[in-house]
């Protein structure tokens, strides 16, 4: 059995081995009862807060705790500023130990604007081990295997009274290995993580069935479209400002998903390479808590064993030195790890920050501190959900004699949510984007906040107001933020308003990831936009490898330049690919990825690959229908 299979892989959820702690406020100083065994006792919220160490100059504070929230494992903000929280209070075996569902979706409100939530409402309860939530239209999307469903409060009492099943068939294996999510893609699709249980997924709206074994997924809630996506992630598939996707599993700090499944599946004759790139090979970590005895895999102590929720920092509140930071929670060792992403060809490599060479960004001496999901908040702070439980193993991996001596349900009444920010920069107030008209939403895209840009794009997508198109085009031309230029280009794509002139302007952008984004976003324009097609082909000489790789992949979607001359677009693209391979001849991995773009037009292989003997063996395989074994 692999190590990550017995870890609380999906989200690092942890079980407390001590007596249940009474509900407490952040200022409560009551003593928490001693555990049933010799493990450290739990702490009150204020005690646990005092046990957390963050870098000099940073501050951490409690944004919510019991009794308002318990067992938090996922969170997200609505356009109205409410904080939606998923609570898995039924972990590990149900609230009665026999499978009785007890999961909850709540929303929290900060009624006085001080940054601390003081009101909680139970929106849904009785859910079977829920694992994800995302605001959508007038309600929320919820993940609870085997289903993804939409829930809405239509009578205004704060409780869901309408539920619509969207997708079903996700695996219901061990509670630590279930689907989870969600993040909005720049393309307007909702993305989720496989969780390792796979499944054969049926869309209720379309009736179509998709097997996601070994992959993550994306979907359109309104239409029922559902597709497999490159993965697979255990808990927390997240996107950065530029469209890069990240995931991981328990023994791995993080992966960058370099190749999308939509590209790889185009060529049925090619055995594609692994679409993910490991980021940080060094698995050592530096906890400040006492490393406790383990039931399984004792040699893993002091190394990453429960990595989850690889979270790009998506704001500027922390300063420019955090612009390429990826945070990863590690609940076994009671810490949050930070890596800095550095370009490495067409992907990235992760390294420790110089001042964290022998330490972690956030660490607690409280063995009960169990960070699960993290997100960059609307205020610019890093938000951390803490389930506040103690032992890592699922009961499946705990010997029966030990189970008889511990309380697997202890701690089910606790939970904290923290936010971390620089001490000299107060987090921004959380905005009310739901009050904005279309021009205001377009203006809201010009923000350092990734959450604000995503939410503004989502609201524009839902309104489908074409009056936003011209202001969006103007925003691409005038904003000083490259992140906003990327998001505005993709919002135009979602609204059907990306035109050749705007794409050409973005293709000439000084920032390489803007150029990369518009090549991908403008794929559908190439057939009917000859000036754009010519400019795209010239990107073969772009100095940035990420741009060149995207070009090679996008050309596979070009298709024919015209029905009267079906070879024209294919020949130009093939000539470009030949030039690309010459530039990359010393790097076989990028060259192999080009094979997904071959056969992009319905032409015989001898027309597609006449320019280079480099591809002679590949030509033979395609011509004869034999699958590549490389």
Three-class secondary structure of residue 490 per DSSP: helix
pLDDT at residue 630 greater than cutoff 60: no
pLDDT, position 273: 86
Co-location of 500 and 570 in the same domain? yes
pLDDT, position 296: 61
Give the DSSP per-residue string, 202-230.
Answer: EETTT--EEE-TT-EEEE-TTT--EEEES
pLDDT, position 608: 32
Query: What would the pLDDT profile of 366-401 be if each residue is shown by its tens digit?
Result: 999 999 999 999 999 999 999 998 766 666 767 777
Interatomic CA distance for residues 573 and 552, integer angstroms: 8
Co-location of 378 and 463 in the same domain? no
CATH code where residue 515 lies: 1.25.10
**pLDDT (mean) for 450-469:** 98
Co-location of 468 and 394 in the same domain? no
Query: What would the pLDDT profile of 14-72 be if each residue is shown by its tens digit?
Result: 333 332 222 334 444 333 433 455 567 889 999 999 999 999 999 999 999 999 999 99
pLDDT, position 267: 85
pLDDT, position 534: 95
The answer to whether the beta carbons of residues 253 and 310 sit under 8 Å apart is yes
**Can you point out the beta strands (E) in 298-334?**
308-312, 325-330
Interatomic CA distance for residues 429 and 52, integer angstroms: 24
Q: How far is CA 239 from CA 313, 541, 578, in A?
A: 10, 27, 32
Interatomic CA distance for residues 82 and 354, integer angstroms: 37
Q: What is the DSSP letter of 457?
A: H
pLDDT, position 451: 98
Co-location of 224 and 308 in the same domain? yes
Residue 417 lies in a domain: yes
**pLDDT (mean) for 412-434:** 95
pLDDT, position 92: 81
Residue 630 lies in a domain: no
Q: Among 170, 66, 164, which residue's Cα sits nearest to residue 128? A: 170
Interatomic CA distance for residues 542 and 514, integer angstroms: 12
pTM: 0.88
Residue 432 lies in a domain: no
Co-location of 448 and 415 in the same domain? no
Co-location of 290 and 360 in the same domain? yes
Q: What is the CA radius of gyration of the chain?
A: 25
The answer to which of 5-14, 43-52, 199-208, 435-444 has the lowest mean pLDDT is 5-14
Co-location of 515 and 375 in the same domain? no
Co-location of 367 and 315 in the same domain? yes
Co-location of 552 and 403 in the same domain? no
**pLDDT (mean) for 281-294:** 89
pLDDT, position 269: 83
Neighbouring residues of 525: CB distance < 8 A, sequence distance ≥ 6:
498, 499, 500, 503, 532
Residue 427 lies in a domain: no
Which of 403 and 178 is assigned the larger pLDDT? 178
The answer to whether the beta carbons of residues 351 and 339 sit under 8 Å apart is yes
The answer to whether the beta carbons of residues 385 and 377 sit under 8 Å apart is no
Written in H, E and C, the secondary structure of 545-572 is HHHHHHHHHHHHHCCCCCCCCCCHHHHH
Three-class secondary structure of residue 530 per DSSP: helix
Residue 63 lies in a domain: yes
Give the strand order in the sheet containing 139-144: 209-211, 199-203, 162-170, 147-152, 139-144, 132-136, 180-184, 190-193, 216-219, 226-229
The answer to whether the beta carbons of residues 405 and 38 sit under 8 Å apart is no
Query: What would the pLDDT profile of 551-606 be if each residue is shown by its tens digit?
Result: 999 988 886 433 433 334 445 555 555 555 555 544 434 444 556 655 443 333 33
The answer to which of 108-117, 228-237, 435-444 has the lowest mean pLDDT is 108-117
Residue 346 lies in a domain: yes
Interatomic CA distance for residues 474 and 503, integer angstroms: 12
**Greatest Cα-to-Cα distance within the chain, rounded to the nearest angstrom:** 81
Co-location of 395 and 464 in the same domain? no
**pLDDT (mean) for 488-498:** 98
Co-location of 191 and 302 in the same domain? yes
Co-location of 384 and 508 in the same domain? no
Residue 475 lies in a domain: yes
CATH code where residue 410 lies: 2.120.10.30
Q: Where in the sequence is the domain holding 213, given as residue range(s)? A: 3-422
Query: What would the pLDDT profile of 549-566 be if each residue is shown by its tens digit?
Result: 999 999 888 864 334 333
Which of 378 and 177 is assigned the larger pLDDT? 378
* Domain boundary residue, one of 390, 422, 454: 422
Q: How many domains does the chain have?
A: 2
Residue 430 lies in a domain: no
């Amino acid at each position: 059995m692999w190590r990550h299979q017995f870890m609380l892989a999906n989200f690092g959820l942890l079980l407390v081995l001590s007596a249940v702690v009474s509900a407490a406020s952040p200022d409560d100083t009551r003593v928490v009862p001693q555990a049933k065994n010799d493990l450290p006792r739990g702490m009150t919220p204020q005690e646990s807060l005092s046990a957390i160490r963050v870098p000099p100059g940073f501050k951490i504070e409690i944004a919510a705790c019991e009794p308002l929230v318990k067992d938090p494992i996922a969170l997200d903000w609505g356009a109205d500023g409410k904080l939606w929280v998923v609570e898995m209070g039924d972990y590990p075996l149900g609230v009665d130990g026999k499978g009785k569902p007890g999961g909850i979706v709540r929303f929290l409100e900060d009624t006085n604007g001080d940054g601390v939530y003081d009101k909680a409402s139970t929106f849904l309860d009785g859910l079977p081990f829920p694992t994800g939530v995302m605001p959508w239209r007038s309600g929320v999307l919820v993940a609870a295997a085997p289903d993804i469903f939409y829930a809405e409060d239509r009578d205004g009492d704060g409780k869901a009274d309408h539920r619509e099943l969207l997708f079903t068939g996700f695996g219901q294996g061990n509670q630590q290995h279930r689907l989870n999510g969600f993040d909005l893609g720049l393309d307007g699709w909702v993305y989720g993580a496989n969780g390792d249980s796979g499944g054969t997924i049926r869309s209720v709206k379309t009736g179509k069935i998709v097997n996601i074994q070994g992959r993550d997924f994306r979907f359109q809630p309104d239409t029922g479209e559902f597709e497999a996506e490159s993965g697979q992630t255990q808990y927390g598939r997240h996107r950065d400002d530029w469209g890069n996707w990240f995931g991981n599993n328990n023994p791995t700090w993080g992966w960058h998903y370099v190749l999308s499944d939509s590209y790889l599946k185009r060529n049925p004759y090619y055995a594609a390479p692994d679409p993910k790139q490991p980021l940080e090979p060094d698995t050592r970590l530096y906890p400040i808590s006492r490393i406790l005895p383990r039931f399984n895999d004792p040699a893993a102590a002091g190394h990453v064993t429960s990595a989850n929720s690889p979270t790009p920092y998506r704001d500027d509140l922390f300063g420019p030195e955090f612009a390429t930071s990826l945070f990863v929670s590690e609940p076994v060792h009671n810490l949050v790890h930070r890596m800095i992403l550095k370009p490495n060809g067409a992907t990235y490599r992760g390294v420790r920050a110089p001042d964290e060479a022998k330490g972690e960004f956030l660490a607690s001496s409280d063995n009960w501190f169990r960070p699960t999901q993290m997100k960059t908040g609307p205020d610019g702070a890093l938000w951390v959900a803490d389930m506040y439980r103690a032992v890592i193993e699922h009961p499946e991996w705990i010997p029966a004699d030990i189970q008889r001596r511990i309380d697997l349900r202890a701690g089910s009444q606790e939970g904290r949510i923290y936010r971390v920010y620089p001490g000299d920069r107060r987090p921004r107030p959380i905005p009310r984007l739901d009050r904005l008209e279309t021009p205001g939403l377009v203006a809201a895209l010009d923000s350092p906040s990734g959450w604000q840009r995503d939410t503004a794009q989502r609201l524009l997508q839902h309104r489908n107001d074409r009056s936003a198109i011209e202001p969006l085009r103007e925003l691409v031309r005038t904003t000083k933020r490259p992140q906003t230029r990327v998001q505005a280009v993709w919002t135009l794509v979602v609204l059907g308003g990306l035109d050749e002139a705007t794409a050409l302007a973005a293709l000439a952008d000084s920032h390489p990831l803007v150029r990369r984004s518009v090549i991908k976003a403008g794929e559908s324009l190439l057939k009917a936009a000859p000036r754009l097609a010519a400019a795209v082909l010239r990107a073969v000489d772009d100095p940035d490898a990420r741009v060149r790789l995207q070009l090679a992949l996008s050309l596979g979607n070009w298709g024919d330049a015209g029905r009267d001359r079906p070879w024209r677009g294919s020949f130009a693209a093939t000539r470009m690919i030949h030039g690309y391979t010459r530039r990359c001849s010393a790097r076989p991995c990028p060259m192999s990825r080009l094979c997904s773009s071959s056969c992009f037009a319905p032409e015989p292989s001898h027309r597609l690959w006449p320019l280079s003997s480099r591809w002679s063996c590949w030509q033979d395989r395609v011509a004869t229908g034999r699958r590549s074994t490389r």
